[in-house]
Amino acid sequence: MSVKNQFSKYAKEYKNHNIIQQIVAKSLVRELKVQPKRVLELGCGSGQVYNHFSWEIDFYKAIDFSASMCELHPKDKNIEVKCFDFDSKEFLDEIKDDSYDIVLSSSALQWSKDLSKIIKHLSYITKEINAVLFTSNTFKTIQEITNTKSPILDENSIKEAFSKYFKCEFETIMYKLEFDNKKDLFDYIKKSGVSGANEALNFKNAKKLYKEYNLNYLEFEVIFIKTISKL
């Protein structure tokens, strides 16, 4: 299953299965040093970041590659919601003449096929980026049991991409989400949107996991990034 389909298929249920995403989205907004007036958000989902804004804004452009998610995002006269793959030329053309106080992204950019390219283009339109990305250590024990590689970027690759164009502050956090039983745990993996395009849960590996996964929690490693200045 592609990343896009994973998010879209469970769009209606997503809010119930994205606890970690909600936590980091709230933290992302809470840690803002100023109250920006012009904002670009990449991977807006159903509005986890926007819903934490408590001040008036002049313009908010929200981007997501899932049309189902875009439909769920809050709408208003100063909000522009558009469906784009942020790796695409169409997206880069969309923003090339824009200017923003800040670019925000929560739980999205780890899926980029060329993160460095995106950061380069964002450096043309903003002086500040605040982002949080899941790293490849998310579901680390699952990867070890199934002998599979994470489909998302590792911590060092993320740091390198941002550090090419900005001086940054980084903070990496491991969250552990506990479950009452294995059924709930495996349902979360399936519906949370974090597993993305990972083929770890084909029938053979799912059976192996159910037998050998003895933890009562899932691991989620995220990296918080604040740009300080352009290089």
pLDDT at 13: 60
Rounded CA separation 142/194 (Å) = 13
Q: How many CB atoms lie within 10 A of CB 187?
A: 15
Band (82; pLDDT cuts 50, 70, 90): very high
Task: Considering only residues 35 and 204, tell me which one the structure prediction assigns the higher pLDDT.
Answer: 35
pLDDT at 182: 86
CB 192 within 8 A of CB 22: no
CB 199 within 8 A of CB 16: no
Band (81; pLDDT cuts 50, 70, 90): very high
pLDDT at 227: 98
Strands (E), 27-159: 38-42, 59-64, 79-83, 102-106, 129-134
pLDDT digits (tens, 9 = 90+) for 114-169: 999 999 999 999 999 999 999 999 999 999 998 888 889 999 999 999 999 999 99
Task: Considering only residues 70 and 201, tell me which one the structure prediction assigns the higher pLDDT.
Answer: 70
- Report all structural domains of the chain as residue ranges with CATH numbers, in order of start: 3-230 (3.40.50.150)
pLDDT at 197: 43
In terms of phi and psi (left: phi > 0; alpha: psi -120 to 50; beta: otherwise), the region of 102 is: beta
Portion of the chain with pLDDT greater than 70, in percent:
88
pLDDT at 107: 95
Of 72-86, 114-128, 161-175, 177-191, the range with the lowest mean pLDDT is 177-191
SS3 category, 185 = helix
Choose from 18-27, 103-112, 175-184 the range with maximum mean pLDDT: 103-112
Band (200; pLDDT cuts 50, 70, 90): very low
Portion of the chain with pLDDT greater than 90, in percent:
72
Q: What is the pTM of this model?
A: 0.90
Task: Considering only residues 58 and 204, tell me which one the structure prediction assigns the higher pLDDT.
Answer: 58
CB 221 within 8 A of CB 165: no
pLDDT at 194: 58
